[in-house]
Amino acid sequence: MKTARTACLVLFVFVFTTSAQAQTIARCGKGWLEKINGYPVLHLKGSPHEMGYQHGALLKEHVRKNMYNLLEVKGDTTLVELGPIKVKPKAAIEAIIEIQKPYVPNRYFEEMEAFRPEQASTCVMHASQISFPSCFTAAASH
């Protein structure tokens, strides 16, 4: 019985570890971008500055497309309306970043600053990705 369980476990691990198809797409410093079963997977290594630079270099086109969709295409969408006040996506992102700022370790802001040279974007763009990863998945799929 114990041998049968062990054999099933080995078979289970073998099937699930060999079915993933990984393909390295690009490298930057110690980081790399790969596709696993069609999904982009980003690996970052090093100091916060190095990781921010890698992130900007390896995902700049993905971020540009997502931010364009969120801020330009859907930018005039009203998220919340309180009487005469209408909250748009950019204002919501900026407000949430300010609220979260005291609780976010400085290393994340160091990473955001390094992200900017390759991305040619504002700090808000990268901070919003850290703050709202689900928004970017949804924004990219529409």
Give the pLDDT of residue 107: 87
How confident is the model over 110-118, as a mean pLDDT?
71
What is the model's pLDDT at position 29? Answer: 92
Question: Is residue 91 in some structural domain?
Answer: yes
Residue 24 in any domain: the answer is no
In-domain check, residue 100: yes
Quick check: 58 and 33 in contact, CB under 8 A? yes
- One-letter amino acid of 116: R
Whether 122 is covered by a domain: the verdict is yes
Q: Dihedral sign, CA of 39, 45, 49, 54?
A: negative
20 inside domain? no
- C-alpha–C-alpha distance, residues 53 and 121, integer Å: 13
Domain with 56, as residue range(s), is 47-141
Residue 114 pLDDT exceeds 90: no
User: What is the pLDDT at residue 25?
Assistant: 92
Q: 14 in a domain, yes or no? A: no
Q: Is 74 exposed, middle or buried (0-12, 13-18, 19+ CB in 10 A)?
A: middle
Indicate the pTM of the whole model. 0.61
Mean pLDDT of 5-23: 59
Helix (H) or strand (E) holding 40: strand 39-43
Query: What is the model's pLDDT at position 103?
Result: 92
Quote the number of domains for the chain.
1
In a domain, 41, yes or no: no
> What confidence score (pLDDT) does residue 18 get?
55
Q: For 74-88, how does the pLDDT look when each residue is reduced to its tens digit (9 = 90+)?
A: 888 888 888 998 998
